[in-house]
Amino acid sequence: MSAPLKGFDYDKLLHRPFAPIEQTYTAKDSILYALGVGLGRDPMDRKELPFVYENGQKTLPTQAVVLGYPGFWVKEPDTGIVWQKVLHASQSLQVHRPIPASATVVGRTRITAILDKGPGVGALILTERTVTDQASGELLATVSQASMARGNGGFGGASGPSPAAVKLPESAPERHCDLPTSPSQALLYRLSGDWNPLHADPDVATAGGFARPILHGLCTYGVVGHALLKSLCDYDSARLKRLDARFTSPVYPGETIRTEIWGARGQVLFRATALERGVVVLNNGLAMID
């Protein structure tokens, strides 16, 4: 295959080896993640307090997306990826067992497909990561994501098949939940392990085509997970078993995220908008709730 940019090798990238990531995290790390997605804004809210306080601590199911994470590997020179133009396209999470407040876990990542969406769109890179409890050997979660490498399309590969999108109802949502983000939210969230400078450095954001640093897609994803726990689960985190969504537009820190919801149990559908701009930021959402 011909490569659009020097260093981009489809076969080499598809079979790129990832060393298992052993990560020991503490109650403090779990609190930091919860704060990073916006819990604890009201310190008197007794439903949220257990997620940000070590006495009787709870964890958010979406915390699994930052566990055993291999780092911002697309920035490595040998990938040939134009990392400044990489955007998170979609995210899927299956929670097999409750996420402990502290543990040692092992993350094992692999690239499952690379799709050529054309030189004007990019290369869609699909990855999967399993997160296993080291002590018990139990599988805690399976984390899958798609990233669009906007500077690497047109390499001559297959364009599909792409993962099918969930179709949302045409009827009005049955309920919604509005949760604010703070102007410094991205700076706090990145402390959970995603060091992409796109979310902190104004110069990198400008180079990527944005007026200012944007919120991590996975932070938006965590805010939506919080909205579902709040609206449907009464903060019982064990009830949220799956969370899939497509990222359709960035959120700017300080905006309010409105999660619109269809259903209450079993298969639940959702989307999210940046309320101030009326822009859909997460779409085609599917959650499984016990």
Active site residues: 194, 199
* Residue with the two structure tokens 């919080």: 226
Cis peptide before 161 (omega within 30 of 0): yes
- The Cα 19–Cα 16 span in angstroms is 10
Give the long-range contacts of residues 269-275, CB within 8 A, separation 24 or more. Answer: 269/166, 269/168, 269/169, 270/224, 270/228, 270/245, 271/168, 272/220, 272/223, 272/224, 272/227, 272/245, 274/249, 275/178
Q: Measured between alpha carbons, how far is residue 261 from residues 96, 170, 177, 239 in Å?
A: 23, 12, 8, 16
- The Cα 157–Cα 176 span in angstroms is 41
- The Cα 120–Cα 137 span in angstroms is 44
- The Cα 208–Cα 82 span in angstroms is 10
Bridge partners of residue 23, in order along the sequence: 105
